[in-house]
Structure 1
Amino acid sequence: MEKSKSLLDEETLFNVTQVFKALSDPTRVQILNLLQDREYSVNEIARTLSFNQTTVSHQLRFLKNLRLVKSRREGTSIFYTQDDNHVLELLSQAVRHVQHH
């Protein structure tokens, strides 16, 4: 039986579900939404969103492992931003879809 071209390979399927898993958490969505404007340090994110710094660090690690955010170090601070425009597009499309109704 010939495999359909529209079927996803196992690795792609797993990675796509991980991205949706990341977007299923309100804390992670708020962090990604904040990062669409500019880069922020962990402390700035925690302060702006009124989250515990430990919580923010944990969520950023999760998002970074999925390549949804990237970081850069400046002295003792680590700054985060969205990894690329695909992240912004995913989030923007989801928000537009929800607000459409």
Structure 2
Amino acid sequence: MSESLKLIHQAKLDEAAKIAKVLANPTRIQILNLLEQDRLNVGELVAALGSEQSTVSHQLQKLRAYQLISQERIGKSVYYELDDPHIVDTLNQLLGHVDHLLLGEDHAGKHLPDCFHVEKE
């Protein structure tokens, strides 16, 4: 093993794993996608997602806890926006990888054997 290899500090690994767990939720990914496009209030998010307000509020709370989104009260409404725009870059990279899996292609566009395909639901 090379002497120059460096490990990631354990505290940093632990926090990265927590954030990955927060992002491992389709509704939260969709909320981040929507907030990348515009600042929205809960009602607008509920309408766009077709979810219950309590569900959306719970997901927003999780995203805020990890400083992925922020909120601002304007009049009687609370608006949400991305607090950490580079997290969207991470999600876009992940979704780009998923595109390859769903198409059964490697990153160069070459068709992969069927054993590497992800079945679409």
Q: TM-score, normalised by structure 1?
A: 0.88
SS in 2 for 1:44: helix
Q: Which runs of 5+ in 2 are unaligned?
A: 106-121
Q: Which runs of 5+ in 1 are unaligned?
A: none
Identity %: 39
Max Rg structure: 2
Q: How does 1:1-101 map to 2 (within 5 A)?
A: 6-100=6-100, 101=105
Q: Deviations over 1:6-40 (max 9, x none)?
A: 32223211210111111111111111111110110
Q: Distance in 2 between matches of 1:87 and 1:67?
A: 10
> Runs of at least 4 residues of structure 1 off by over 4 A?
none
Q: Distance in 2 between matches of 1:80 and 1:20?
A: 21
1:71 Cα deviation after fit = 1.0
1:78 partner amino acid: V
RMSD: 1.5
SS in 2 for 1:35: helix
- Larger RCO: Structure 1 or Structure 2 (Cα < 8 Å, ≥ 6 residues apart)? 1
Q: TM-score, normalised by structure 2?
A: 0.74
Q: Number of residue pairs matched?
A: 98
